[in-house]
Structure 1
């Protein structure tokens, strides 16, 4: 019995030894993990993980890139959202350096006041945020050989396109020469030097602004609409209002795309910028599409129908100087953009004067994605009604209850619209040059990406830019994102397949949806009570006015017993409703506090509880196993 009551030194020694061994194992495992560079992204949208397209681009780099992050980390006045975003950017850039396999170098600088780092930030063009306590820097500089690219301010609101911005800049260093863009247009987008041929026609002496802007980035070439070939050296084919294109040029477009090249196409059911018909444009619709080619690509657009969107109209001045909301001039905002696509993720507003509806015709094997769409308060109507006024449009208008596609992306190995080969030459066609005689493609050999927009007028200057003179300088101010859309689409389509495949990223910020839902419900109740109070005020005031009319002139300054009773009744109702409003707000705070307490309890106690239960269960299991022995 004494032995049983005695202290078991052997057991104690084994327990102490076991703890020491366990401690050493933990240290050893920690050292191994730290050197193993193991990465695990546990976020819902893989916020810190690179896409496969980015990894492919980084793995094929030939020109090394140095990324310099200028961030005022030591400044205590950095806004919380900027601080969180800067931390995310640093972590994300570390993924780039890891995937770059030595080709990407990351340097981080803290530009404190009057420091060399601040001087370099200013030389590079990093734009600081001005605060009462100093400047806050948060920008990136990319350096490769003698070339530099800049993101002057890392805007947290552009978090979704961060990966695309970083990857596109890095890829740009790998191919320094300008990309080649060819433009086919039946509109005078390159400008004309001649005088107007008829009253009302614009002189067209200047090229359109979008062409001028594209020439700053690309080697832009004008392809005559009467041409019969397309230079295979083009990186992107852009077609703007393809009116009356010859079958020879349509065939050239078809074969160009089937060769695996990309295209950006703007069609239109009624082009208000088309002045080629003179006054006849008011007699017949001035539309243009590529019906034959579109059919083979699995899409269609009826060039005689336009989308009338009473959910997204544009306020314009009518002929009699009245302001009216025109549903055929669609002002696209917010939810009408595909936020999951990098082309449209960062856009806020666009203007489409008379746009058509692009439909998928059921062709299999192609990716079809809507980029911009109408609201559900839209319907199709004859495009010619654009000349008849809003009142005429309202007649017999019935919302279709569905969204119509204004801009789409089609991707895949497309099929030809000319299965029998090149169409026969017409008498008006010139003989095609020898160099374009080649193998006829019936199906695409490579993936091609086509972006189609159902309005060409959106590229006309008056629909996205205001020009003014300031101190002798001509200034162009953009008032929507029409040009930004073109810039995004062109940049995507002139990039590699890996860059085209990049998607808009999820946001790191996660809202408390349960709290927001509680607030929303309470706000709805509050608004309902507020409306009820306002309604009762109006009803009471109306009754008071009616009582006032019943009195003669000598009684105007005297409150009748009936008026006094009404006023007292209203005061009692107002006091009651105010008490109810206070109770709603009190319940709202209580619901939110209870939810917070529940979440806090889960965070504090749930994990220790689970660990404890697991430990107790394991101990019971071991004890039972020991007893069986």
Structure 2
């Protein structure tokens, strides 16, 4: 072939193009240089959420975050499904690295069996999975570290693909924090525990397991029920059964929320724990019977401002989700399955079941600027019953039940811009008696008659604008400082009591989660303590997309054949019932010619019906297979046909142009 000819030049050009394509593919795909791409997937599989990007923007450039990504690459031991997952995770980590603008250092290590990198994986507390009799382990996980702070994702399973962005963003946020986040806790029950009183020969009470668990990751601060101010350094305020809360404490919570604080509240229409465990309990300091803890808790003023209706005298009874009690299945002791939980929210997406005891419910009214999201609810086979009647069901069975036909909301998330529940300003603090003490004894407590502030000149517009946001007399903030306010509400406080959320492992003797109650609260705290950004980190869609159109067409075919099959199946069942009386228990036929003849006819009918069913199923399967083959063929041929069509069009256009010259 003459290289100077047109054919020779075209061949050289084609070879050069192929070489360039291979080189670019190697540099971009193999070495990750540039790594530019457009995310054209329906669910944005390769695009980070705004919440993640804000977390990365706040990273300190002087304290970069190092991600050591461990993945076994040896084909001999690494299953194909995990190799595919490893590629997806690496793509996501590259997106994190790019969005961080140099604040994240990504290291990829290959801990293949019997290598130094496998030793490094073990040092980083990664979890290996044994895959053969030789004891070879495979690794797929990461260690995320900044200075001395380290978080580990020990092993990434295919089931965790959808929550991968959330898990990585959470870990990055935790290691980048210089000190522990502060969580405030308010409760009418002694959930924080009590000290030991040796003179009474009585040990103190341990904190609830949920408090012990929170102290592992956070600084937990006890907030008195009568508080008049919530410290600004508290990231999230946790209320567990705020029974008999006074207005000044509600006001403190309200103003904390207005200033950007996050609130989680567990209220209860009838707390069995408050009534049976803590009421009339002996005081360890005096040895005398203690007081009574009101079993009912409410946040009357706050709920009204948030658009929440909550009946504190009624509990949810559900015959579909009822659990077990002393008298058998109890419709007020609820066992919510996974279907009752919102699988679209990161807080509840991976939870399996919840256990609630005499829980209440919420109704939501549309409130300007506030978005309400249901986290979990009852089934439609439920109704609201009086709390006193519900208490009887602990011992007796339910005899009269009429389902309401709609589900009851028991877990709720409110987000957006909140307005104060106290537009008139700070409520007056009730005067305490000398015996009990109170605000009168507190020199820092606000006085009921504060001197009025001088009225600003009406001609000054700035003062009028300020009056829209603040109460001039006492500084009450009228609305939240931003639109990122978050409140999470649960209509049961008992669900966090030890007996309802943990159990003892029979093998190790350690306390482990008995259900998803404890993970629910830990997820909520974790999401809110992240400043709201983690709440916006969605559960990513899976890269394993179902063939929805194929399933839809298959269902259409089966729907067309279903009536025929059902009619024949019913006829077959009738035939079998008629044959039954004609047989003896030992399988012998009754020696009656009429019955023998009738039985033979029924057998022939049975064989004929079975033949018709087989033929219909064959036709059904044939049509399904044809439909699937057509879809596969179209998917395989569309792109080549499109390329050929473009090629033919360009060839015709070139020939026309050449002919014109």
Q: 1:365 aligns with which of 369, 376, 386?
A: 369
Deviation at 1:512, TM superposition (A): 1.6
Q: Find the aligned partners of 1:232 and 1:396 in 2 and give their Cα distance.
A: 48
3-state SS, counterpart of residue 344 of structure 1: coil
3-state SS, counterpart of residue 126 of structure 1: coil
Q: 2:313 aligns with which of 293, 304, 308?
A: 304
The answer to whether the aligner puts 1:617 opposite 2:649 as a matched pair is: yes
Moved more, 49-58 or 213-222: 49-58
Q: 1:330 aligns with which of 325, 330, 334?
A: 334
The match for 2:167 is 165
Q: How many residues align?
A: 595
Checking the alignment, whether the CA contact within 8 Å between 1:515 and 1:592 is kept in structure 2 is no
The answer to whether the aligner puts 1:152 opposite 2:158 as a matched pair is: no
Moved more, 95-104 or 618-627: 618-627
The match for 2:488 is 451
Checking the alignment, whether the CA contact within 8 Å between 1:519 and 1:588 is kept in structure 2 is no
The match for 1:594 is 626
Q: 1:464 aligns with which of 501, 504, 512?
A: 501
Deviation at 1:619, TM superposition (A): 4.1
The match for 2:419 is 415
Deviation at 1:59, TM superposition (A): 2.7
Cα deviation, 1:565-604, whole Å, max 9, x if unaligned, reads: 5654554454345435544553454344323322332233
The match for 1:399 is 404
Checking the alignment, whether the CA contact within 8 Å between 1:291 and 1:300 is kept in structure 2 is no
Structure 2 unmatched runs, 5+: 198-202, 282-292, 433-437, 448-473
Checking the alignment, whether the CA contact within 8 Å between 1:344 and 1:371 is kept in structure 2 is yes
Checking the alignment, whether the CA contact within 8 Å between 1:265 and 1:452 is kept in structure 2 is yes
Moved more, 155-164 or 121-130: 121-130
3-state SS, counterpart of residue 217 of structure 2: coil
The match for 2:260 is 260
1:73-472 aligned within 5 A: 73-132=73-132, 134-192=136-194, 205-275=205-275, 276=278, 286-318=295-327, 323-324=328-329, 326-389=330-393, 393=398, 395-400=400-405, 402-428=406-432, 429-431=438-440, 434=444, 439-446=475-482, 447-467=484-504
Q: Find the aligned partners of 1:152 and 1:436 in 2 and give their Cα distance.
A: 52
Cα deviation, 1:404-454, whole Å, max 9, x if unaligned, reads: 221111112211111111111212242466388962111111331111111
The match for 1:44 is 42
The match for 2:470 is none
CA pair 620-114 structure 1, distance change in 2 beyond 3 A: closer
CA pair 232-534 structure 1, distance change in 2 beyond 3 A: farther
RMSD: 3.6
Checking the alignment, whether the CA contact within 8 Å between 2:149 and 2:176 is kept in structure 1 is no
Q: Find the aligned partners of 2:575 and 2:499 in 1 and give their Cα distance.
A: 47
Checking the alignment, whether the CA contact within 8 Å between 1:285 and 1:383 is kept in structure 2 is no
Checking the alignment, whether the CA contact within 8 Å between 2:553 and 2:627 is kept in structure 1 is no
Cα deviation, 1:326-381, whole Å, max 9, x if unaligned, reads: 22222222222222211111111111112222221121111211111222222322
The answer to whether the aligner puts 1:483 opposite 2:487 as a matched pair is: no
3-state SS, counterpart of residue 356 of structure 2: strand
Q: Find the aligned partners of 1:409 and 1:459 in 2 and give their Cα distance.
A: 18
Deviation at 1:157, TM superposition (A): 0.9
CA pair 18-467 structure 1, distance change in 2 beyond 3 A: closer
Cα deviation, 1:26-74, whole Å, max 9, x if unaligned, reads: 8779878956542212222111221122122223321212222222221
CA pair 206-116 structure 1, distance change in 2 beyond 3 A: same
CA pair 388-426 structure 1, distance change in 2 beyond 3 A: same
Deviation at 1:287, TM superposition (A): 2.4
The answer to whether the aligner puts 1:607 opposite 2:644 as a matched pair is: no
Structure 1 unmatched runs, 5+: 1-8, 196-202, 549-554
CA pair 96-539 structure 1, distance change in 2 beyond 3 A: same
Checking the alignment, whether the CA contact within 8 Å between 2:380 and 2:404 is kept in structure 1 is yes
Deviation at 1:269, TM superposition (A): 1.8
Checking the alignment, whether the CA contact within 8 Å between 2:503 and 2:512 is kept in structure 1 is yes
CA pair 52-245 structure 1, distance change in 2 beyond 3 A: same
The match for 1:552 is none
The match for 2:535 is 500
Moved more, 18-27 or 241-250: 18-27
The answer to whether the aligner puts 1:539 opposite 2:577 as a matched pair is: yes
3-state SS, counterpart of residue 140 of structure 1: strand
Moved more, 85-94 or 535-544: 535-544
Q: Find the aligned partners of 1:54 and 1:69 in 2 and give their Cα distance.
A: 19
The answer to whether the aligner puts 1:509 opposite 2:544 as a matched pair is: yes
Q: Find the aligned partners of 1:264 and 1:461 in 2 and give their Cα distance.
A: 19
Checking the alignment, whether the CA contact within 8 Å between 2:380 and 2:407 is kept in structure 1 is yes
Q: Find the aligned partners of 2:280 and 2:445 in 1 and give their Cα distance.
A: 38
